[in-house]
Amino acid sequence: MRRIRPETRWAYVFLLPWLIGLVVFQLGPMVASLVLSFTDFDLIGSPEFVGLGNYAKTAQDPKVLRAVGNTVYYTALHVPLSIALALALALMLNRITGRAAGVFRTIFYLPSMTPYVAVGVLFLFLLNGQAGMVNQFLGLFGIEGPQWTTDPDWILPGIVLMSLWNLGSTTIILFAALRNVPRELTEAAMIDGAGRWQRFRSITLPMISSAVFFVVIINTISALQMFDQVYAMFFGNQIAQQSHGDAALFYVVYLFQQAFQFLHMGYASALAWVLFLVIMVITLIQVKVGNRLVYYEAEEHAG
């Protein structure tokens, strides 16, 4: 019989709270939504079985295509930018020592404490093309800023800009990883005459690669699920819904509209499961690629 190693056992103990939550609160609804995804259901009448009809519809729905395009565009910009920026911030934090260190760490994390809806509304003001501070700032350099909130070509870049406000969690994770890079290695490299960039490339980056890999996966998943801020900004009330086209239509926003605006619960459930499968595939690919690029410290002991 295969023996479970103590570490593995402890891992499960720590996972337990989440597992209990999953089983108690989420498993039932997940199964229910899977069942509903094969039906036509409007919350009032009883569900009608339609087979794979809802899934076939997702493949033909032009709005799904638009929503997927917007979501992919956002993810492709948001993930690399946010991680690069968070890494830069973490490197800066790592250089600060003494009493100030705690203060700065707190300040860097503060934006993450702001509710997403508040961030969305705040940025609607900041990004306003006629009166917003972002364009006032650009105006100082003689640049006539774009209409971030109303020009379909600029709405997504504006949303990416907004998403970079909230880097606290990513920064903290990368910062914790940086703190674990053994000083001896860097010092040895310095004695060997390695420059700053070389040390970063050959020592720091490999040593924190597992953390970087983790934040890439998590950021990708959350980017594909982007909802709160965009909904608050562009779909929050009836007037807002009326006045923006599909420029800010993210996948989950469309799913939400189908479910709660048009009451196509079956179709919305199918959309949710498609998203689930897509995210799973993307994550699997990332794990496969990651295994080749990521260095795990424990590897030598594991075998």
Identify the burial level of 84 via C-beta atoms within 10 angstroms of its C-beta, where 0-12 means exposed, 13-18 middle and 19 or more buried: exposed
Q: How far is CA 287 from the centre of its chain?
A: 17
- 252 contributes a contact to other proteins by CB under 8 A: yes
Least spacing, CB of residue 55 vs other proteins, in Å? 14
Using CA atoms, how far apart are residues 101 and 248, in angstroms rounded to an integer?
A: 39
Look at the block and give the residue holding tokens 């997940």: 30
Binder among 53, 69, 129, 157 for other proteins (CB under 8 A) = 129
Query: What part of residues 17-46 is at the interface with other proteins (CB under 8 A)?
Result: 18, 21-22, 26, 28-33, 36-37, 41-45
- 81 contributes a contact to other proteins by CB under 8 A: no
Binder among 128, 161, 204, 250 for other proteins (CB under 8 A) = 128
- 163 contributes a contact to other proteins by CB under 8 A: yes
Least spacing, CB of residue 187 vs other proteins, in Å? 33
Of 178 and 226, nearer to other proteins (C-beta) is 226
Query: What part of residues 175-194 is at the interface with other proteins (CB under 8 A)?
Result: none
Of 31 and 101, nearer to other proteins (C-beta) is 31
- 200 contributes a contact to other proteins by CB under 8 A: no
- 73 contributes a contact to other proteins by CB under 8 A: no
Binder among 279, 282, 290, 294 for other proteins (CB under 8 A) = 279
Residues in the interface with other proteins (CB under 8 A) total 69
- 115 contributes a contact to other proteins by CB under 8 A: no
Q: Enumerate binding residues for other proteins (CB under 8 A).
A: 18, 21-22, 26, 28-33, 36-37, 41-45, 78, 82, 116, 124, 128-132, 144, 147, 149-152, 163, 165-167, 169-170, 215, 218-219, 221-222, 225, 227, 229, 239, 241-246, 252, 255-256, 259-263, 265, 268-269, 272-273, 275-276, 279
